[in-house]
Amino acid sequence: MNEKSKSNDSFMMKLATFIVDKRNLFFLITLILIIFSAFSRNWVEVENELSFYLPENAETKQGLDIMEDQFVTFGSAQVMIANISLENAETVADEIAGLEGVQSVAFDDSEDHYNNVSALYDITFDYSEKDEQCLTALNSVEKALADHDLYVSTDLGNAVSESIDSEVKVIMVYVAIIVVIVLILTSQTYAEVPVLILTFVTAMILNLGTNFIMGKISFVSNSVTSILQLALSLDYAVILCNRFKEEHQTLPIREAAIVALSKAIPEIGASSLTTIGGMVAMMFMQFKIGADMAICLIKAILLSLLSVFIVMPGLLVLFGPLMEKSGHRNFIPKIPFVGKFAYATRLVIPPVFVLLVVLGFSFSKSCPYVYGYGEIDTPKLNDTQIAENMIQDNFSASNFVALVVPAGDDQKERQILDELETYDQVDYTMGLSNIEAMDGYTLTDKLTPRQFSELADLDYEAAQLIYSAYAVKNEDYGHIVGSISTYSVPLMDMFLFVCDQVDSGIVELGSEQADLLADAKEQMTNAKLQLQGDTYDRMLIYLNLPEGGQETYDFLDTIRETAQSYYPNGNVYVVGNSTTEYDFQKSFSRDNIVVSVVSILIVLSVLLFTFKSAGMPLLLLLVIQGSIWINFSVPAFTGTPLFFMSYLVVSSIQMGANIDYAIVIASRYNELKNQMDKKEAIIETMNFAFPTIITSGSILAVAGILIGQMTSDAAIVGIGQSLGRGTILSIILVMFVLPQILLLGGTIVDKTSFTVPSSVKRKNASGRVRIDGMVRGEINGTVSGMVHAVVEGDVNVNLISGNVTEEGEDTGETQK
């Protein structure tokens, strides 16, 4: 052993001794952190909108920021009542309109609002959609209509997030049960199961409690991180536990824990690098939810490592006596048939697999990715989805986008709206410049005093005085000096000015005129808040196109080009659910390549240092990348739409986590192939690797399947289904394809090794043996170096150069 190795061993032993001997201190610190985490987990803000994570330069992101800053978006909801007559529906509309907090109710006898004996009410509330009072008003509506067959669709509140949280809690219970069963089956003592569970629960609580450091996390990360943390990092605890049991066969509990920890730290640390590497790849995505999930998962893995290294050694010492008394037989059988099958099919399976990989790559490119939820049917529906489906089944879906343009030119805005309404794809448009106020005038039409007096039923002289006061307020003195009769002011501005004068007592009106003016003021004020900002105006374009699809994306470009032709030097933004999907599509085309390349490069780098060979990493990557391609060719075969984010997340996890299964097999086979013939080596390798793979793989696969079947959010469903299917495929491939590839590709691995020359041959001989050359091995002991000798006894060496010949005992005959 060289000095560097001794130094490393000495450091690890000292560190392990410190951790084990100070276990009570670490228990106390951990308990304090757990209590803190119980409170701090409530400080985490959860972001429910995927559009929040669009790149900063995305048009939708910039448009949303402008709209949030300059416009008010009132809270709204669609309420459907089934099995109601038209007469009763009209009565209900009046009832809703009279409720506190309700600004307006859109309902008529057209098919847009009454169809199939069902009524649909478009309700707008008096408050901004982010105001909690919207939920209070919505609750009042639901309470008032509780006796009806009611369906409510709205973006207000956190109903969807709360549904997902409750679903994930149920999933965690199922996963916990599966974990306990798997651990009992794969363990050797019953008492090690609580050690493993306590270690993981500690890591999970600490991870949840430290999420507040990020300020805000996505609903996806908030939902699946804990489940994925369990599935991805349980191996670390299993490795340390197995090391402890191995050392405890010859050492007392304390010493066994110290030695096991000193050996496990570098082993577990190296094992975690590939998983973390896969997560790091997501941080390079333009779609920032990748970085959000990556940070949450990397933090989860690091805290799992910390829990294994700091908390678990003390638990092993604490539960050590119980582990001694609670041993049971091994429930996991040996699987020699897998190794025998691998050896028998070593020339057949690899070429068949290569063909499957080529087909998988080809079909995966045809995977039907979608960028919105509209085309995805989830196995489970929450209340909001049920309501939306009922509304869509009975009424035509509404799809609108907002067009944001520089403020100040009402004529241009009117021209844009008029031009857009000539397209078949547009149902209708809405903006200040085309909203009719009264008598055929729109809100932005400019009226003279004469026109305004006739419209408002005012004396002409009074109207002139009001116009003069308006000119003074706006420092437009030229019209006062000139002729006030030709002074024209937008209808909305003049009405709001008059209202201010009435409110201040400067102008007095009759009660009928005052009521008319008050109604007009409310409508115009709300319209102005929603459609007119300080530097931008907003217009709404209602489309008869679906939210997603290339036809919709192409028409969005048409809207943008139309507006840009009127504002060649100004910024215009098209914003809506359709534009969000369009921006998702644009970011995916880049993120798809980046995630794949970065994850492969990171994992490849780790494998190069692990195996010190160029060939072995390529063989392992072929298997795992092949499983990824085959995984995402399945939706292409079945025609099942897949939310694009699911691919980006799962391909990273699959590459980072499933590669560990391949590493276990490859590492063990490398150790054994020089100690016995290849057939026995691969049989022993598969017997050794099976418990590890089945423990980790089954938990990850079950977690994925449960997520995919028991959640209602399309993005999370896609992650779960793809992860579960991908993990099962990876297990099958590493069990029934990788062994054959290792057997067939052993020469490639040896020839591309960084440390061992390619001419190494295994030589076994007994009796009188002559050795001439550089050897490494055992000759009644270990020999390494140049040997020129005749040995009496058994020889078991790696021949690096030279010859080993077996000589006859009496005749002097030699055998190669």
- The confidence score (pLDDT) of residue 243 equals 85
Give the pLDDT band (50/70/90) at residue 80: very high
Sheet holding 814-815, edge to edge: 782-799, 761-778, 803-807, 814-815
Dist. CA 597–CA 57, nearest whole Å: 23
Angle in degrees, CA 720, 722, 727, rounded to 5: 95
- The confidence score (pLDDT) of residue 720 equals 92
- The confidence score (pLDDT) of residue 582 equals 92
Give the pLDDT band (50/70/90) at residue 140: very high
- The confidence score (pLDDT) of residue 210 equals 93
Give the chain's end-to-end CA distance (angstroms, integer). Answer: 33
> CA torsion, points 398, 638, 362, 628, in degrees to nearest 10?
90
Mean of all residue pLDDT scores within the chain: 85
Average pLDDT over residues 596-601: 88
Q: What is the pLDDT of residues 280-328, one digit of tens each?
A: 888 988 889 989 999 999 999 999 999 999 999 999 999 999 998 888 7
Residue whose token pair is 């920890």? 261
Q: What is the pLDDT of residues 181-194, one digit of tens each?
A: 888 888 888 999 99
Average pLDDT over residues 720-732: 93
Q: Does the structure show a pLDDT above 50 at 719?
A: yes
- The confidence score (pLDDT) of residue 479 equals 64
Q: Does the structure show a pLDDT above 50 at 759?
A: no
Angle in degrees, CA 207, 210, 214, rounded to 5: 115
Q: What is the pLDDT of residues 221-255, one digit of tens each?
A: 888 888 888 888 888 888 888 889 888 888 999 99
Give the pLDDT band (50/70/90) at residue 763: low
Residue whose token pair is 């091995």? 777
Least-confidence region, from 104-108, 663-667, 722-726, 790-794: 790-794
Q: What is the pLDDT of residues 347-378, one digit of tens each?
A: 999 999 999 999 999 999 899 999 988 888 88
- The confidence score (pLDDT) of residue 658 equals 81
Q: Does the structure show a pLDDT above 80 at 437?
A: no
- The confidence score (pLDDT) of residue 721 equals 93
Q: What is the pLDDT of residues 14-24, one digit of tens each?
A: 999 999 999 99
- The confidence score (pLDDT) of residue 385 equals 86
Q: Does the structure show a pLDDT above 60 at 3?
A: no
pTM: 0.80
Give the pLDDT band (50/70/90) at residue 777: low
Using the Cα atoms of residue 291, residue 293, residue 296 and residue 300 in order, give the sign of their dihedral. Answer: negative
Angle in degrees, CA 692, 693, 696, rounded to 5: 85
Please list, in sequence order, all residues whose beta carbon lies within 8 angstroms of the beta carbon of residue 22, skipping any fewer than 6 positions away.
none
Give the pLDDT band (50/70/90) at residue 107: very high
Between 348 and 484, residue with greater pLDDT: 348
Average pLDDT over residues 333-347: 91
Nearest CA to 9 among 265, 253, 188?
265
Give the pLDDT band (50/70/90) at residue 729: very high
- The confidence score (pLDDT) of residue 361 equals 93
- The confidence score (pLDDT) of residue 1 equals 46
Give the pLDDT band (50/70/90) at residue 762: low
